[in-house]
Structure 1
Amino acid sequence: MNKKLTVTLFYIMVTLFAASDMAMVIAMVWYTLSMTKSTFLVGIILCISTVIPFILEKWLNKKHSTQLSINRLIVIRLIAFTTILVFTLMHLTNFVIGFLMIAFVVGMIDYFTISTLEAQNTKLVLAGVLDSHKSARFIETAIQLGAFGGDFLGGVAIDSFSVTTTLTTISAMAIMFLGLLFIPQIRTTTLLPQQEQKESEEAIKHSYGSAKEIFLVILALGMIGFHIGAFNSLVPIIFQKLNTWSATSLGIASGLAGVGAFIGAMIPGLSINLLWLVTGVTVMDIALVYSPSALLACSAAFLIGFCLNQLRISFRKYLIEQSHNPRVADLLATRSSFYYLLLSGSAPMILTLFTTDALFGLEASRPLMILTSLVLGLVVIARLVMSRKTYRFN
């Protein structure tokens, strides 16, 4: 298989993985909100399901070196979606515990998928197939294109079918695609040989740049995840409980956020000051949560997606450039994925706690959404101060 075809298949795979995962997440959040009036329990499970595989991988790496491979990811996803399909066919979705079990499996899927795909994307750069800017743009384009399709179709499915039918359909389609990847002629494999890496984690830490700056970049990516988690948990409250809008409206808003991110990633040579980007996220958050019109709210979601993806591409490009070998690529991918998923998973748990009647009520969801963008802005400013320059997306 030539390199061009392999790269194409890789990004197609990223798109389809993102579509199935986002459709599952939006359906799960909407249904659990309808059943429990809160996404608190889902947030707890998503956090736990992120921490467990992260700790497990660190323990395994102490015993023997492991690498994040596409082959391993395919097997993990096949097992996970088969498990979800069995749960739905057993009608466990009629009970809160059933949703929590599915949430745990989805959290595990997300961790392994994001960390593996980020590592493989970096290895394309190490193999000399793409430069860091193109690889960052391409993977974000693929993710956002998939997220748009998953969000939109997930929202429509919620309004059209039962919870069991929705989750069964998503799982079955994911399993069918994974089955195709086992056909030798179209199976996607890493471009780099799976060589055992002997470096210790301490040695790896000295092979890339400023640890503090890297941590702030990873934290900024995590805060983007926290904002996305806030969007996925607070916007359904605003749309469903406060504005009494339909699930289709939520699907359109989420989908347009994906379109905005997709368009931003497709524009070559774009250069925007990072401070303008975080300011844009805050202003659009205000428009999103206080808009009396679903059309205006959806438009704001579009611009939020655009600005957030500019930030993600910029920070992802920086991390790619710090990865000097496959082992470092795996390490940074697992770290960034861990913080991203931990913070995005904790957002429903933390933020919806403040929307309970015992504290501030559902109306608190509006200022809380804005607060997340302000915290993101502080982290970005700290990263700019650390680098002593006005870093631009380019």
Structure 2
Amino acid sequence: MMDSIRIDRFRIRPYDLPLRRDWRSARGGFQRRRGWLVCAETDGEIGFGDCAPIPAAGTEDPESAESALLNACACAPGRSAAEILEMLDHGYVETPAARCALECALLDLLSQAEGVPLRRLLAPDASDVVPVNGILGALATLTAADLQQAAEAGFRVVKLKVGVEEPASEIGRMLALAPFLPADMRLRLDANGAWGHDEACRILDQLAGLPIESLEEPLRIPDSSRLQALQERATFPLARDESLAGLSADVDLRGLGVRRIVIKPAVLGGLRTALDLSRRATAAGIEVVVTGVVESAAGLWPTAALAAATGSRLPHGLATADWLAADLGVPPRLNGADLSLADRPGSGFNPNPEPEPEPEPG
């Protein structure tokens, strides 16, 4: 089928979306989400992708992403989807966010042509709903009311950014909030590589007894042997996320030093690469969680399709749509702590109408 689909053109449209509140982490933050809506067109049909680079998470910088997208726009007309996918696999390794967006647009088209939802193109037994964790932002801004609101919404796992303040202050905040945690709620912590090894050891010891679901990227330098030592010390999974960027396809995943990996398709270069990594991790006994990069609905739909295709029933980090004050289209529907995915062919994304051009003066 991919050989029979000829691409008329790629088209890209820049966007600039405000957040409802600042996104903060140990690697910095942002107040707006900028990127490009990618459209692959053939015979009147359109497939969509989202290029939303975020270098702090392991992608290329925006300038490199835009250059890669423009190159694809110049090279695509008249080529088959199969030819373009091969081009992406060999020539776009250094620009994973652009490669992911272009691939998503092609796979959206292909799933439409096959008459199946994108998740079932990736895996015929993919589920219709994706469990998700709540995303509450930085621990420094968290209140007891935030925890109660998340519990009332149905979340049993909530994610917090740590490593933003001094460890003693953050441990104090968690201990102070612990009495307000609902009995069945657990905390998923993300340090974004904030700590040295000795510091991480002390923090793990101080977290003992708290309802921690997992801890992502505890070490500033993610050495596998030191991560393994930390994992043996912890009573919950440690996870690697941005340190997976550039991971060799033949690496032994059992040597990563952690019990879990966090998969971002925009960092890994697309849905196919991410799904392959997920399957290898599962075979190696490593847990898998899929997260996005606070992208638009155009990126959230295919990322949710990937999560459904992995078969992992852990809560995924995809409840990000509410962080955006504006979007390119309607995101997947959040029903309690589950995303409900569309049953129609394609990724599920439909764009908002493009704004009318301003009239010429005079």
Please tell me the TM-score bracket, short chain as reference: under 0.3
Q: TM-score, normalised by structure 1?
A: 0.22
Where relative contact order (Cα < 8 A, 6+ residues apart) is larger, the structure is 1
Q: TM-score, normalised by structure 2?
A: 0.23
